[in-house]
Amino acid sequence: MEQKTSVKILSAKQITIQNPLCEEWMENPLEYSEDYVRAVDPDFKQFISAGDARRMGKLLKRALATSLSALQEGGIENPDAIITGTGFGSIENTELFLDALVREGEQLLKPTQFMQSTHNTASSLIGIHTHCHGYNSTYSQKGFSFDSALYDAWMQFCVGRIKSALVGSHDEMSPVFSGFVRKAGHVREGEICSEAAISVLLAENGDNAYCTLEGVKLFDTPSEETLRKVLADMTAGSIDAVMTGMSGNRDNDLWYGFLNAMLPGVPQLKYKPVFGVNFSSSATGFYSAACCIREGRIPAILTTDGKPLECRKGILAVNVVEGRHYSFSLLKPCGK
Amino acid sequence: MEELILKLKQEIIEVLNLEDIKPEDIDNDAPLFGEGLGLDSIDALELIVLMEKNYGIKLQDPAKGKEIFKSINVMADYIQKNRTR
């Protein structure tokens, strides 16, 4: 069986703490002084009827809006696979359901809240709404959820099982949950606790692609030798920069220290100060990398020295979670 | 009865999250399911919970819901006759 070596990224859409469903953040990013910020929502009525929306929490509406936008821009109505990552799913409805459970003594529980409190609701909702009844899967691995979903899609492209896939990652953050997340150390001092819904459309073929995905690799506790080999293999054709999950918090940024030694001189980019930190953060980094390659430039807001860069060769997106889980995704301009 | 009907409509709008609908938009005799409001089986479960929580009416036979939830008037009449709170 012929192994695929690249897949096109036909579109990428975001609803985050930046203006939604557009790339205005590249020129005029919204800036925040708060340490907890909810996503900026679009008018959902352009995507979802009031009747359909009434059982959807924020996460589901955002997942559907980014998915439908990505499918529309990419020109694919029915992708072969819908693969979704989410750290904690519709946590707001989960909270409501658990509150009712305690308040009502485990009686009189509302079915809608129960249905929405499961992690795989977003992926199945997208499947139902778009009439895509093919492969549908959800990965829930905290901050490694998107990476796992993307890897699944990549492997299925590689073995020829699918020709297109809608890959997304969606997480919401309620006020109560944001407190728990911070106490547990998932969001650290100096980082904005935020929300994100990202949808990316991948396909073997298609016009006007943002860029191509040339490889995805995941590791659990890799050795230094493994890291060196992976970085050497994936950056062999040269890249413009590395999209890192560095946030400015020292404890978090230490996990990316290996890049200084192993990729000396390669600019390191930071997307977390722009989009905040949540369980779908790595999807935001991937989306940002795809947008930079499409535009052929890296905006000053992402660079460490505050100067814009050209983007003609590609970006390696690197995510490190808890100093243990590593993912590497190589994005290149089309035709390179 | 008028007061109960208005309260019931407001409760249904809230519990089913019918954002764009006002109490006066709901015809007292129109079917709640299928045509009319277009509710479905999940809404029926929500209405069963509403009846028990707000009026102390526990439907022993969920199949009866089809009859009771026929319209706002039928539902209000059933609540009037069977409520315990």
Mean pLDDT of all residues in A37-42: 98
* CB spacing of A110 vs B15 below 8 angstroms: yes
Min mean pLDDT across A6-10, A270-274, B34-38 is at: B34-38
Assign a CATH topology to domain B2-82: 1.10.1200
Closest CA to A271 of A261, A256, A282: A282
**In the block, which residue shows the tokens 């660079």?**
A303
- CA-based nearest residue in chain A for residue B16: A54
Percent share of chain A, pLDDT over 70: 99
- Tell me the per-residue pLDDT of A206-250, one tens digit each, with 9 for 90 and over: 889 999 999 999 999 999 999 999 999 999 889 999 999 999 999
* CB spacing of B53 vs A104 below 8 angstroms: yes
Contact A60, B47 (CB under 8 A): no
- Tell me the per-residue pLDDT of A122-172, one tens digit each, with 9 for 90 and over: 999 999 999 999 999 999 999 999 999 999 999 999 999 999 999 999 999
- Tell me the per-residue pLDDT of A88-107, one tens digit each, with 9 for 90 and over: 999 999 999 999 889 888 87
Q: Give the 3-state secondary structure of residue A189.
A: coil
| Residue A220 β-bridge partners | A325
Taking contacts as CB-CB distances below 8 angstroms, the residues of chain A near B17 are 54-55
pLDDT confidence of residue B41: 85
Contact A218, A325 (CB under 8 A): yes
Contact A116, A91 (CB under 8 A): no
**In the block, which residue shows the tokens 């997106």?**
A317
| Residue A148 β-bridge partners | none
Q: Residue A261 burial (CB < 10 Å; 0-12/13-18/19+)?
A: exposed
- CA-based nearest residue in chain B for residue A109: B49
Asked if A217 is an interface residue toward chain B (Cβ–Cβ < 8 A), one would say: no
**In the predicted model, is pLDDT for residue A74 greater than 60?**
yes
Query: Between these two residues, B17 and A295, which has the higher pLDDT value?
Result: A295
Average pLDDT, chain A: 95
Buried b (16+ CB within 10 A) or exposed e, A273-309: bbbbbbbbbbbbbbbbbbbbbbeebbbebbbeeeeeb
Size of interface A-B (CB pairs under 8 A): 26
* CB spacing of A112 vs B49 below 8 angstroms: no
* CB spacing of B20 vs A53 below 8 angstroms: no
All structural domains of chain A = 7-203 (3.40.47.10), 211-332 (3.40.47.10)
**CB neighbourhood size of B9 (10 A):** 21
Taking contacts as CB-CB distances below 8 angstroms, the residues of chain A near B20 are 50
Min mean pLDDT across A48-52, A76-80, A269-273, B25-29 is at: A48-52
Asked if B3 is an interface residue toward chain A (Cβ–Cβ < 8 A), one would say: no
The Cα A42–Cα A130 span in angstroms is 20
